[in-house]
Structure 1
Amino acid sequence: MRPKVMQLCLSDGWGGLEMYPARIIPELARQGWEAHGLALAGSRVAASLAEAGIAPLTVASRGQALWRVGRILAYLKAHDIGVVHCHKSSDLRLGALLATLRPGLRLFFTDHMGVTRPKRDPYHRWAYGRVTRVFSISETTRARNLRAFPLPAARIRRLYLGLDPAPYLEAPGDAERATLRAELGVPQGAVAIGLPGRLTPGKGQRVWIEALAGLAEMRPDLAWHGVLIGGLTAGEGSNEAFVAELRRRVAALGLGERVTFAGFRGDLPRCLQALDIVCVPSRNEAFGLTAIEAMAAGRPVVGSNSGALPETVDAATGRLADPEDPEAWAVALAELVADEALRERLGAAGRARVRADFTLARHVEALVGEYAGQAEAGA
């Protein structure tokens, strides 16, 4: 009988945290684990789990999950599930209660966001005390977790996220790439500078736009085009007031013909192949999955020299710049826009780094080892 794990994510949002459970389910299956899910009814998390091939147990709210804990315990018993993996700190209340009421249950928590405040009060001591292992998605977040959580260092493990490189490897033909670039508004002969991600303060779109203005002034001889890839509405996860602010700033800087708001794209691996440079100017990335996706697609990355990005992007795979310094970004972009051979070298090195360190198979291999208790056994 295959070992079983329940992925617990009671979130009604949609971002990297919420996408994670469904992303790992196929690889869990390939590595011999049967996945189950617990999600909010009608949420995108529940829909994504269904699309990944499992029928999740659902509850109407987090509160209902607590007062119907008996139903969840019965489900765990009926399906002989011995592992629960939580992905939001607010879900730990339920996870810890399940671990208390079902002795022997192994409880895991991935801190996807990076904790910012100490959690050493009596409630958190109780909740985290039931956790078998906390996973930090970077060394940066692990350092914060060590300071914040009431746990010994041995129970907090750095476990980098991973992806399946296959969708990013197959380069489109010339005709398909030309079509993609036209869809993204990139003129022929221009170097495409992309910034994928939610359009919200903190993701760095402001400094990026200012950097493009600086690039235009610094190197008027260079042909380039900026592409913002991300939803433009609240329903697509973006801040509509912020989107309007960005549009106004683009117009005020005279960049209207040089920046495209491409909107949400469900084909990001293909879009990355159509770009020449990918930017990640977030001030405080807990990991930086977008950078890894760009590297898997063989694209050089310009990222912020803060948060966890310096753990994945270096001088061999891209460039780093201060997220508060548009001029530094303009200088980094100018170097890459002007040198196609450099872009190709950095992109190739980034792709090799992903294959070595950031594959989904490697991530899940470490994960299931923890699920099975191999770390405690010395495996």
Structure 2
Amino acid sequence: MSDPGSEPGGSIRRVEVIAPNFKRRLSGVTSTIIQLVPEQARSLGIRALGPGLPAHLPKLSWLALPGLWQKPNGRPFRIWHARRNVEMLPGILLRDVLRMPLRLVFTSASQRRHTAYTRWLIARMDAVIATSSRTSAYLGVPSKVVTHGIDQTRFRPAESRETARAALGLEPSLRTLGCFGRVRRQKGTDLFVEAMIGLLPHHPGWQAIVAGRATAEHHGFEAELRQRVEAAGLTSRILFVGEHRDIERWYQALDLFVAPQRWEGFGLTPLEAMSTGVPVVAADVGVFSDVVTPETGTIFPPGDLPALIAACERWMADDTAREAAVGAALAKARAEFPLSREAEAINAVYERLWREGR
């Protein structure tokens, strides 16, 4: 899709919604934008704005920003849909200081009490979306609950897990557990590593992968985990594979996914795993207990290493139950997590604002 900021003839008027993404680092928020914007673009003029976004995404040029003083075609104003503080504040400045015809929408996934500054920002939004009922309870303002969906054309089962593993340079004959996300204590990466150090010596047919990036302040944390793996003699079976934007290929290599977070706002990874037909062991944080059922995996208390080990071992030891969970996870994901449902619900929030604006 072409960039309205680079076209002549005032094509900025075709842009009805802007989805800013002002953090270059890959995160759950960025992943949400990458998945949602193309789906929303099927029915409205939406563009992402910011650095580090993939080339295929419909984007707005920074040079097009002065055009925001113009109203979009057929709309009383344009929507600025923020998902972080760093995106709410510019929207307020554009609307209230520069007087651009904008209305501001904020999506919150956080399940904790907000700072006074964040509450100040949220209070100035024209509409607020919460990704779960738990999240809504922390907002202090009226909100619409819209749970996340998954792009199921991207996250889908592999025809062969062995082939998927071989394509990634993994040992194809070994069943595989995975833990994906930023490498840090909050994400429970250390719990996963400790669980694997305890389990893999007793399960020689399995290997484990940690996919994700450690930012500068967490390099020491990752280095310590690698040292533990080396000391256990498991460097060939507990692999740190780094950050990948084609993460769907890594899900396709898995037999079991582990989400060991100590805290999480929403958490997309179990949904992505289930959409790929992978059973999930997850901590009881975010929306995980709403997503993972006894038929599709196991929920364990956050931070409880023995419970995590027991849950993983149960699925590792029972091939029949695990394969049944594959079908159950995929069926639940297809029924409850389609990306189109999320896009339609968000677009309905926009439409309500436009109706009220007229």
Which residue is equivalent to 1:35? 46
Q: CA deviation at 1:129?
A: 3.7
Note the alpha carbon deviations across 1:241-276, whole angstroms, 9 max, x for none: 222111011123333332112223333222212110
Q: CA deviation at 1:76?
A: 4.1
> Structure 1 residues 268, 95: closer, same or farther in 2, change over 3 A?
same
Is 1:77 the counterpart of 2:70? The answer is yes
Q: CA RMSD in A?
A: 2.9
The match for 1:4 among 16, 28, 45 is 16
Contact 2:37–2:48 (CA under 8 A) maintained in structure 1: no
Note the alpha carbon deviations across 1:137-188, whole angstroms, 9 max, x for none: 2222222223xxxx2xxx212211111111233523476235136x13x362
Is 1:143 the counterpart of 2:154? The answer is no
> Matched residues in 2 for 1:244 and 1:34: separation?
45
Which residue is equivalent to 2:37? 25
Contact 2:274–2:333 (CA under 8 A) maintained in structure 1: yes
Is 1:132 the counterpart of 2:126? The answer is yes
TM-score, reference length from structure 1? 0.80
* 1:36 partner SS: strand
Contact 1:135–1:157 (CA under 8 A) maintained in structure 2: yes
Aligned residue runs from structure 1 range 133-282, under 5 A:
133-146=127-140, 151=141, 155-173=142-160, 176-180=163-167, 183-184=169-170, 186=171, 188=173, 190-216=174-200, 220=202, 223-231=205-213, 234=216, 239-282=218-261
> Structure 1 residues 178, 193: closer, same or farther in 2, change over 3 A?
closer
Is 1:366 the counterpart of 2:345? The answer is yes
Q: Which runs of 5+ in 2 are unaligned?
A: 1-12
Q: CA deviation at 1:74?
A: 4.3
* 1:226 partner SS: strand
The match for 1:52 among 48, 57, 60 is 57
Instruction: Decide which moves more: 2-11 or 350-359.
Output: 2-11
Q: CA deviation at 1:331?
A: 0.8
> Structure 1 residues 322, 180: closer, same or farther in 2, change over 3 A?
farther
Q: Tell me the number of residue pairs that the alignment of Structure 1 and Structure 2 aligns.
A: 340
Which residue is equivalent to 1:62? none
* 1:262 partner SS: strand
TM-score, reference length from structure 2? 0.84
Contact 1:172–1:270 (CA under 8 A) maintained in structure 2: no
Q: CA deviation at 1:51?
A: 3.2
> Structure 1 residues 103, 347: closer, same or farther in 2, change over 3 A?
same
> Matched residues in 2 for 1:370 and 1:74: separation?
24
> Matched residues in 1 for 2:353 and 2:134: separation?
25
Is 1:16 the counterpart of 2:28? The answer is yes
Identity %: 29
> Structure 1 residues 175, 352: closer, same or farther in 2, change over 3 A?
closer
Q: CA deviation at 1:354?
A: 1.6
Instruction: Decide which moves more: 363-372 or 1-10.
Output: 1-10
Is 1:110 the counterpart of 2:110? The answer is no
* 1:341 partner SS: helix
Q: CA deviation at 1:103?
A: 7.9
* 2:294 partner SS: coil
> Structure 1 residues 319, 297: closer, same or farther in 2, change over 3 A?
same
Note the alpha carbon deviations across 1:184-218, whole angstroms, 9 max, x for none: 3x362x3211111221221111111211233247x
Contact 1:283–1:307 (CA under 8 A) maintained in structure 2: no
Q: CA deviation at 1:55?
A: 3.4
Is 1:352 the counterpart of 2:331? The answer is yes
Q: CA deviation at 1:15?
A: 1.2
> Matched residues in 1 for 2:240 and 2:341: separation?
35
